[in-house]
Amino acid sequence: MRVTEPDAAAIARAAELLRAGELVALPTETVYGLGADALNPAAVGRIFAAKGRPADHPLIVHLPDAEHLVRWARAIPKEAIALARAFWPGPLTLILKREEGVPDEVTGGQDTVGLRVPDHPVALALLAAFGSGIAAPSANRFGRISPTTATHVVEELGDKVALVLDGGPCQVGIESTILDLSRDTPEILRPGAVSADDIARVIGRRPAVKGETAAAAEEPAPRVSGALAAHYAPGTPLRLVPAAMLTEEAAALAGEGSRVAVLARSVEDPEDARFLWHAAPADPKGYAHDLYASLRMLDASGADFILVEALPDSPDWRAIADRLGRAAVGSGEADET
Ligand code: TXA
Ligand code: MG
pLDDT tens figures, 148-200: 999 999 999 988 999 999 999 999 999 999 999 999 999 999 999 999 999 99
Candidate of 23, 111, 175, 326 to mutate for ligand 1, largest count of ligand atoms within 8 Å of Cβ: 175
Asked if 231 and 222 count as a contact pair (C-beta separation under 8 A), the reply is no
State the Cα angle at 38 between 189 and 211, rounded to 5°. 5
Number of compact structural domains in the chain: 2
pLDDT over 60 (residue 216)? no
Q: Is 176 in the pocket of ligand 1 (CB under 6 A)?
A: yes
**pLDDT for residue 222 is more than 80:** no
d(CA 258, ligand 2 centre) in Å: 31
| CB-neighbour burial class of residue 229 (10 A; exposed 0-12, middle 13-18, buried 19+) | exposed
Q: Report the pLDDT value the prediction gives residue 217, as an integer from 0 to 100.
A: 44
Same domain, 242 and 161: no
Ligand nearest to the Cα of 231, by number: 2
Distance spanning both ends of the chain, measured CA to CA:
22
- Residue with the larger pLDDT of the pair 333 and 297: 297
Q: Are residues 184 and 42 in the same domain?
A: yes
CATH number at residue 323: 3.40.50.11030
Q: Based on the domain organization, do 258 and 177 belong to the same domain? A: no
Residue 160 placed within a domain = yes
Omega before 220 within 30 of 0, i.e. cis: no
Does the pTM surpass 0.85? The reply is yes
Ligand 1 near 28 CB (within 6 A): yes
| pLDDT above 90: percentage of residues in the chain | 88
The CATH number covering residue 181 comes to 3.90.870.10
114 lines ligand 1 (CB under 6 A): yes
Give pLDDT tens digits for 17-35. Answer: 999 999 999 999 999 999 9
Ligand sitting nearest the alpha carbon of 143: 2
Q: Are residues 273 and 181 in the same domain?
A: no
The atom of ligand 1 lying closest to the CA of 175 is 1
The answer to whether residue 216 is domain-embedded is: no
Banded pLDDT at 286 (limits 50, 70, 90): very high
Question: What pLDDT was estimated at residue 221?
Answer: 45
Inter-residue contact 251 to 267 (CB < 8 Å): no
Q: What are phi and psi of 24, to 5 degrees?
A: -130, 130
Query: What average pLDDT does the structure give for the chain?
Result: 93
pLDDT in the model for residue 227: 64
Q: Are 18 and 130 contained in the same domain?
A: yes
Distance of CA 274 to the CA centre of its chain: 33
Residue at 273 is within a domain = yes
The CA distances from residue 224 to 161, 218, 221, in Å, are 24, 15, 9
Tens of pLDDT, residue by residue over 223-253, are 666 667 777 889 999 999 999 999 999 999 9
Give yes or no: residues 167 and 312 share one domain.
Answer: no
- Verify that 113 and 204 share a domain, yes or no: yes
- Residue 168, Cβ neighbours under 10 Å: how many? 12
Ligand 2 centroid to Cα of residue 145, in Å, is 8
In a domain, 295, yes or no: yes
Same-domain pairing of 303 and 154: no
| Atom 17 in ligand 1: residue holding the nearest Cα | 224
Q: Going by C-beta distance under 8 Å and a sequence separation of 6 or more, which residues neighbour residue 201?
A: none
pLDDT in tens, 287-296: 999 999 999 9
Statement to judge: residues 308 and 170 lie in one domain: no
Q: Is the CB of 231 within 6 Å of ligand 1?
A: no
Domain co-membership, 247 together with 140: no
* Residue 335, pLDDT above cutoff 50: no
Residues 26 and 168 in one domain: yes
Q: Which residues surround ligand 2, an ion (CB under 5 A)?
A: 138
Domain that holds residue 293: 238-330
Query: Looking at the domain assignment, is residue 124 inside a domain?
Result: yes
> C-alpha dihedral over 33, 189, 93, 181, to 10 degrees?
150
Decide if 227 is inside a domain: no
Pair (81, 170) in one structural domain: yes
Domain end marker among 189, 209, 229 = 209
Q: Does residue 125 form part of some domain?
A: yes
Q: For 131-143, what is each residue's pLDDT tens digit? A: 999 999 999 999 8
Q: Is residue 120 part of a domain?
A: yes
